[in-house]
Amino acid sequence: MNAVVEEHHDHDHKPTGLGRWLFSTNHKDIGTMYLWFSFTMFFIGGALALVIRAELFQPGLQIVEPEFFNQLTTLHGLIMVFGVIMPAFVGLANWQLPMMIGAPDMALPRMNNWSFWLLPGAFGLLLASLVMSLMGMGSAPNFGWTFYAPLSTTYGPDSTDYFIFSVHLMGISSVMGAINVIATIMNLRAPGMTYMKMPIFVWTWFITAYLLIAVMPVLAGVVTMMLTDRNFGTSFFDAAGGGDPVMFQHVFWFFGHPEVYIMILPAFGIISSIVPTFSRKPLFGYSSMVYATASIAFLSFIVWAHHMFTTGMPVAGELFFMYATMLIAIPTGVKVFNWISTMWRGALTFETPMLFAIAFIFLFTMGGFTGLMLCIVPADFQYHDTYFVVAHFHYVLVTGAAFSIMAAVYFWLPKWTGNMYDEKLGKLHFWLTCISANVLFFPMHFVGLAGMPRRIPDYALQFAEFNQIATVGAFVFGFSQLIFLYVVIKCVKGGEKATDKVWEGAHGLEFDLPSPAPFHSYTTPPEVK
Amino acid sequence: MRAVTRPLGLACLLLASNPTLADYQLNLAPGVTTTSQNAYDIHQIVMWICVVIGIVVYGVMTYSILTHTKAKKHKPATFDDNLTVEILWTVIPILILIGMAIPATSSLLAMEDTSNSDMSIKVTGYQWKWHYDYVGEDVSFFSNMSTPMEQIKDKETKGENYLLEVDNTIVIPTGKKVRFLFTSNDVIHAWWVPAFGVKKDAIPGYINESWARVEEPGIYRGQCAELCGSNHGFMPIVVEAKSEEDYLAWLGEKKTAQAAANASGNKTWTMDELMSHGETAYNTSCAACHQAGGEGLPGAFPAIKGSAIAVGDIAKHIEIVVKGVEGTGMQAFGPQLNDADLAAIITYERNAWGNNTGDMVQPSDVKAAR
């Protein structure tokens, strides 16, 4: 009897035990699961990268065979893209969107549960193929994360079918997540919050969700064509049967390029939340930020073939894709200039989230510069498929996307847990991460320009020095993330109590809620003026 | 913290103790063709523009980080919009981009013009070697990496051209516009010689083109640039540019040698001849997958040592080597090798590594099975 009365008083109705997580329809619990899933995958994908870097420490084969090396690069790429960056952003969306728009939860909570719980299955399948490979039972996917046909179809290992099923599951998960985001933003905004009053993080996720809905089905289509090519005698990508291997690349990159922006637009949103907070000044050019994000999203659909300049497309095609790609520099530049103008004449302080945000602006811009260089077709012929490209996309994805996620975790962790994280350790984590990331990735520009192709397990002697330096950076980077793990666990367990506002310059509905935020966020919608 | 510093110190020691390796190339090389020179020029232009923009943008940002801080009691401003600067930083980048697009377009048009070539070489990618066919000259051959496995496995000192050396170099005449035609026999490869500025995908079912006119005699090295399977890192390209006279002499020699090799298929070989030629040919064409000791790679490539095929029916063994196995990595070697090579390889496989069947396969047997 007592228990019933007590339960009645508990407004959260929080289920307990394993069931709380398995059957959860709560945006915070699901967000937490997404983030821990992403964190786990980050360590797995990172471990694979460390084996790759260890093999590349010096010329010659010391640790792995070339066949296994290819499996490592493939799984590293797939895990980091689909298992780390994307789920982390979905986790952040789950935690933040309802709080930021003044809603009690996501609009479609049961679907939310299902879209998360598909992921462990998807990655279980993918990782099972690696485990089987380690046990000597055939090869894991070994064709690179871009899985070009016919290497992945006619010549793919048996585990390719695991891979295909896994990608289908990830795709369904992402599309459901995206539908949920759109439904939430369209329907659950607090009264008075018009579209042009939404926080930028909400805007960037809104646009990202449309990108996801547009391109994940394309990815599903291309893997389905692979499936029928491999198992049911079709020849979509088999030249011997009248198919076209280049069409694979067109379809893949029609998904792949918007995918790149799926992994960076939410990061823009995060940086646009953090920079004004620690500058104690409103975001500069709110509406131009929104329009720039929308322009980038639109342009992302018409630049896909810049990944394919060496496939021998007609000159007119090369020119079109070069010009279209150059245009992306404009809205991206606008964003960077806006962030800097936000900082300009502010009153800056440099807590860990701000440090990561500033590093993001510096280093993402580096990736932007190399991106601009890569779109220049005559020069791209020399850069294509070299370490220059590897350097480029690690600058945008690691020091870009991943840094923004770390910034976001430090920024909102006090709101989520009610405790402040350990600032000293956070700063230590930042400096180690930031310096080692550059030691790791910057030399890749040099070896790439000197002519080292990507995805090779062994290399000519002239590339040795910079590869050694990169490997040193990689290990420092990798082990520094254990500090991050420790800081997060320590903060979850306790620490100095956070205020409701958390940061002196914080703005937004999530900072009007108590810390930690109540289980059902806003049960009564706040009024936005 | 100790976990972090220890590997760092170790690595510094390793770096310092490695005086034999001292090549820190930082930038793209201009190369030896107009195409590579064009690529280099546009690369320099765009890179320096980026450097200048970078200095300005990072400079402003750094200034703000150092000056506009709460620690220095800077009072935050409240502005959040300024139409003039927003228009400026949209328009100026557009102008800069146009400035980049103009030279890029003109170089590209020059690079893609393969007309009026003096000769053509057809390049076919195979897992994991290149085949070159001098169109109209009756000269064609495979080019395999010649770096020995011992060097790769760190059992021998690595040579100067480690991983960038081949058994058969392609030779081109200087001063001539040489057109390359690219295709593939299996998966997508990419033929890349940085000094020429030529990188083109070799795609099954497609024929791509590119060209190079090399003025300086010399040896130029490159690699496959598109992931093509396990030995993607081991299919280098070596091109030697010679004066036209030397080139023609080389072409003549190559023709004679090829005719002799074809004639060798008509004689009857002894067991010793077959075994010794077989070992060489096996190591060139088969060892990449099945390994020099015939043990294969478990899970990827089957062993030949003690395999039912290599000690079983001869006709079946010949058929597999000549026609390949569809849907697997096993290529049809009939179109790639001559009768004598194939006979020697099959004999070798049936008698090496304890497969002592005593069987001998003659070139005539292979010819009959084709």
Give me the mean pLDDT over the B189-218 stretch.
95
Considering the domain boundaries, does residue A215 fall inside one? yes
More confident residue, B326 or A131: A131
Alpha helices in chain B (DSSP H): 2-16, 34-67, 83-111, 149-152, 244-263, 271-285, 287-290, 308-311, 314-323, 339-351, 363-369
Name the residue facing B186 among A155, A157, A451 (closest C-beta).
Answer: A155
Name the residue facing A66 among B26, B225, B231 (closest C-beta).
Answer: B231
Judge whether B226 and A308 are in contact, CB under 8 Å.
no
pLDDT score of A303: 96
CA distance A473 to chain B (A): 8
Considering the domain boundaries, does residue A388 fall inside one? yes
**pLDDT tens string A428-472:** 999 999 999 999 999 999 999 999 999 999 999 999 999 999 999
Give the residue from A133, A134, A160, A385 with the most B CB atoms within 10 Å of its CB, the best one to mutate: A385
Give A12's pLDDT tier (boundaries 50, 70, 90): low
pLDDT score of A250: 97
Instruction: Pick the residue from chain A with its C-alpha nearest to B60.
Output: A340
User: Given an 8 Å threshold on Cβ–Cβ distance, is B233 in contact with A372?
Assistant: no
Give me the mean pLDDT over the A278-283 stretch.
95
Maximum Cα–Cα distance across chain A: 79
Q: Counting Cβ atoms within 10 Å, is residue A224 exposed (0-12), middle (13-18) or buried (19+)?
A: middle
pLDDT score of B103: 93
Using the predicted structure, report yes or no on whether residue B9 has a pLDDT greater than 70.
Answer: no
Q: List CB contacts (< 8 A) between A67 and chain B.
A: 230, 297, 300
Name the residue facing A60 among B12, B158, B203 (closest C-beta).
Answer: B158
Using the predicted structure, report yes or no on whether residue A4 has a pLDDT greater than 60.
Answer: no
CATH number at residue A87: 1.20.210.10
Judge whether B213 and B173 are in contact, CB under 8 Å.
no
Using the predicted structure, report yes or no on whether residue A7 has a pLDDT greater than 70.
Answer: no
Residues 6+ apart with CB under 8 A from B167: B143, B144, B145, B146, B284
Name the residue facing B187 among A155, A344, A376 (closest C-beta).
Answer: A155
More confident residue, A121 or B334: A121
Q: Of A479-483, B160-164, B303-307, which gets the smallest average pLDDT? A: B303-307
User: Given an 8 Å threshold on Cβ–Cβ distance, is A66 in contact with B108?
Assistant: no
Average pLDDT of every residue of chain A: 94
Instruction: Pick the residue from chain B with its C-alpha nearest to A362.
Output: B58
Q: List CB contacts (< 8 A) between B164 and chain A.
A: 460
Name the residue facing B86 among A285, A468, A480 (closest C-beta).
Answer: A285
Using the predicted structure, report yes or no on whether residue A8 has a pLDDT greater than 50.
Answer: no
Judge whether A258 and A289 are in contact, CB under 8 Å.
no
CA distance B166 to chain A (A): 13
Instruction: Pick the residue from chain B with its C-alpha nearest to A137.
Output: B299
Number of A to B CB contacts under 8 A, please give it.
Answer: 326
Q: Which residues 150-189 in chain A show a CB within 8 A of chain B?
A: 150-151, 154-155, 157
User: Given an 8 Å threshold on Cβ–Cβ distance, is B61 in contact with A382?
Assistant: no
Whether the link from the prior residue into A150 is cis, omega within 30° of 0, is yes
Q: What percent of chain A has pLDDT over 90?
A: 94
**pLDDT tens string A494-518:** 999 999 999 999 999 999 999 999 9
- Tokens linked to A347: 């009153």
Using the predicted structure, report yes or no on whether residue B19 has a pLDDT greater than 70.
Answer: no
Give B295's pLDDT tier (boundaries 50, 70, 90): confident
Instruction: Say whether residue A111 is in contact with chain B using an 8 A CB cutoff.
Output: no
Instruction: Pick the residue from chain B with its C-alpha nearest to A459.
Output: B163
Instruction: Pick the residue from chain B with its C-alpha nearest to A336.
Output: B57
CA distance A55 to chain B (A): 12
Considering the domain boundaries, does residue A12 fall inside one? no
**pLDDT tens string A33-88:** 999 999 999 999 999 999 999 999 999 999 999 999 999 999 999 999 999 999 99
User: CA–CA distance from B320 to each of B166, B230, B315, B331, B354 (Å)?
Assistant: 27, 21, 9, 9, 21
> Secondary structure of chain B: what % helix, strand, coil (to 5)?
45, 20, 40
User: Given an 8 Å threshold on Cβ–Cβ distance, is B227 in contact with A377?
Assistant: no
pLDDT score of B3: 44
Judge whether B125 and A155 are in contact, CB under 8 Å.
no
pLDDT score of B370: 80
pLDDT score of A450: 94
Name the residue facing B226 among A239, A376, A385 (closest C-beta).
Answer: A385
> Could you give the ipTM of this predicted complex?
0.91
Instruction: Say whether residue A425 is in contact with chain B using an 8 A CB cutoff.
Output: no
Enumerate the active-site residues of A. Answer: 76, 105, 145, 173-174, 257, 259, 261, 272, 306-307, 332, 335, 454
User: CA-to-CA distance for A283 and A338, rounded, in angstroms?
Assistant: 8
Name the residue facing B188 among A148, A243, A285 (closest C-beta).
Answer: A148
User: Given an 8 Å threshold on Cβ–Cβ distance, is A373 in contact with B47?
Assistant: yes
User: Given an 8 Å threshold on Cβ–Cβ distance, is A334 in contact with B90?
Assistant: yes
Q: Of A171-175, A307-311, A379-383, B73-77, which gets the smallest average pLDDT? A: B73-77
Using the predicted structure, report yes or no on whether residue B266 has a pLDDT greater than 90.
Answer: no
Name the residue facing B80 among A286, A322, A361 (closest C-beta).
Answer: A286
CA distance B327 to chain A (A): 6
Judge whether A433 and A477 are in contact, CB under 8 Å.
yes
pLDDT score of A13: 66
Give B327's pLDDT tier (boundaries 50, 70, 90): low
Q: What percent of chain A has pLDDT over 70?
A: 98
Using the predicted structure, report yes or no on whether residue B292 has a pLDDT greater than 50.
Answer: yes
CA distance A17 to chain B (A): 36
pLDDT score of B14: 45
Considering the domain boundaries, does residue A527 fall inside one? no
Beta-strand relationship, B177-184 and B119-126: parallel
User: Given an 8 Å threshold on Cβ–Cβ distance, is B21 in contact with A464?
Assistant: yes
CA distance B200 to chain A (A): 5
Question: What residues are paired with A348 via a beta bridge?
Answer: B69
- Among A372, A17, A152, which Cα is nearest to B50's? A372
Using the predicted structure, report yes or no on whether residue B12 has a pLDDT greater than 80.
Answer: no
Q: List CB contacts (< 8 A) between A450 and chain B.
A: 25-26, 28-29
Instruction: Pick the residue from chain B with its C-alpha nearest to A71.
Output: B230
Helices (H) and strands (E) in chain B, counts: 11, 10
Judge whether A371 and A261 are in contact, CB under 8 Å.
no
User: CA-to-CA distance for B21 and A481, rounded, in angstroms?
Assistant: 31
Considering the domain boundaries, does residue A150 fall inside one? yes
User: CA–CA distance from B130 to each of A251, A452, B53, B125, B194 (Å)?
Assistant: 28, 19, 43, 5, 17
User: Given an 8 Å threshold on Cβ–Cβ distance, is A155 in contact with B36?
Assistant: no
- Tokens linked to A502: 């958390």
Domain of residue A381: give its range: 24-511
**pLDDT tens string A220-253:** 999 999 999 999 999 999 999 999 999 999 999 9
pLDDT score of B7: 45
User: At how many degrees (to 10) do helices A423-450 and A387-396 cross?
Assistant: 160
**pLDDT tens string A363-414:** 999 999 999 999 999 999 999 999 999 999 999 999 999 999 999 999 999 9
At which residue do the structure tokens 């998807």 appear?
Answer: A122
User: Given an 8 Å threshold on Cβ–Cβ distance, is A318 in contact with B108?
Assistant: yes
pLDDT score of B302: 86
What is the residue type of B317?
H
Considering the domain boundaries, does residue A528 fall inside one? no
Considering the domain boundaries, does residue A374 fall inside one? yes
pLDDT score of A69: 96
User: CA-to-CA distance for A57 and A464, rounded, in angstroms?
Assistant: 8
Q: Of A23-37, B11-25, B105-119, which gets the smallest average pLDDT? A: B11-25
- Tokens linked to B227: 């992931």
Number of domains comprising chain A? 1
- Among B350, B338, B205, which Cα is nearest to B284's? B338
The secondary structure of residue B70, as a DSSP letter, is T
Using the predicted structure, report yes or no on whether residue A362 has a pLDDT greater than 90.
Answer: yes
Considering the domain boundaries, does residue A394 fall inside one? yes
User: Given an 8 Å threshold on Cβ–Cβ distance, is A376 in contact with B188?
Assistant: no
CA distance A68 to chain B (A): 8
Instruction: Pick the residue from chain B with its C-alpha nearest to A332.
Output: B90
Instruction: Pick the residue from chain A with its C-alpha nearest to B99.
Output: A326
User: Given an 8 Å threshold on Cβ–Cβ distance, is B70 in contact with A67?
Assistant: no
Q: List CB contacts (< 8 A) between B93 and chain A.
A: 329-330, 333
Q: List CB contacts (< 8 A) between A456 and chain B.
A: 223, 232-233
**pLDDT tens string B231-258:** 999 999 999 999 999 999 999 999 998 8
Buried b (16+ CB within 10 A) or exposed e, A127-165: bebbebbeeeeebbbbbbbbbbbbbbbbbbbebbbbbbb
CA distance A485 to chain B (A): 14
CA distance B254 to chain A (A): 29
Give A279's pLDDT tier (boundaries 50, 70, 90): very high
Angle A294-A300-A301 from CA coordinates, rounded to 5°? 110
pLDDT score of B326: 74
User: Given an 8 Å threshold on Cβ–Cβ distance, is B225 in contact with A155?
Assistant: no
User: CA-to-CA distance for B163 and B152, rounded, in angstroms?
Assistant: 8
